[in-house]
Structure formats: C-alpha cells, structure tokens
Amino acid sequence: MNPITYAKFFVGNLLSQFTHADDNKPLSQLLIEAKQYYDPVLPRKADADTRLDTVEVDGCRLIMNSTLFTITADELDAGEFRGALAPILVAEARRWKRLARILDKGGTLVYRYVDMHGTPFTDVSISN
C-alpha cells in the first residue's frame, strides 16, 4: 500500500473512533462511507487464516467477503465455526465505532467466508 493511501486509512480510522460526526448521518451514508474506508486497503490479511477480500453494500447490510486461505470447506463444521466466531465479531464490531454506528442505526454486518478454493463456507450476520 502506498504511504498516502495508508495515511488516509489511518487518519480516517482515528477520526472515526474519536469523533461523533457520524451520529446524525443516515444508515445508507454510513454504509457507503464504510465501504469507501475499507476499499483502498483491500485485500488485506485479517489473521493467520483469513484475508478480507472485498466489502460491499446491499440494502442495509455491509458485507465483508473473506477467504479462509488455509482450509477447505470440508475441514470445518460451519455451525461450530459460526458459534465460535460470532461473539468475537460482535465484540470487534462494538469496539470500532464505524461499525457500531451502523449497528446502532439498524444495519447488519455480514461476514461471508469462502474456503481456499473459493467454495462458499458460511456467513455470520450481526445486528441489534
């Protein structure tokens, strides 16, 4: 990532965390701004097994498309995966004001996963 893109990403994140300018914005605008915030830095590694590939907006949903690049869909139980991951994703969404504001306005965060071969694996949806 070039330094200017990273600087914009970093400053945008700081402003999002410490200002309340987003509180009066409609959900549709918050969703579009979240997509615009993530797009310049994608794809990016989220953890040792996951890459966040793209972010899209569909109605009142912010969809985060990710690849589990170290596994195939038949190696994990989707239900157990969702059960283990959901509390972590909820905590992370609440920690990042940009995502918390989307939830507070009635939006839904969808974390969509495919395996290392691009085979759909599971979705985890979060809403208030």
CATH number of 85's domain: 3.30.300.250
Residue of 107, 106, 96, 8 whose CA lies nearest to 46 = 96
Residue of 41, 42, 37, 112 whose CA lies nearest to 82 = 112
pLDDT tens over the chain, length 128 residues:
566 665 565 556 555 555 555 678 999 999 999 999 999 999 999 999 999 999 999 999 999 999 999 999 999 999 999 999 999 999 999 999 999 999 999 999 999 999 999 999 999 999 99
**Number of domains comprising the chain:** 1
What's the confidence (pLDDT) of residue 65?
98
- CA torsion through residues 114, 85, 108, 34, sign: negative
| Residue 106 token pair | 């009635």
Residue 75: domain span: 3-126
What's the confidence (pLDDT) of residue 10?
56
What's the confidence (pLDDT) of residue 23?
75
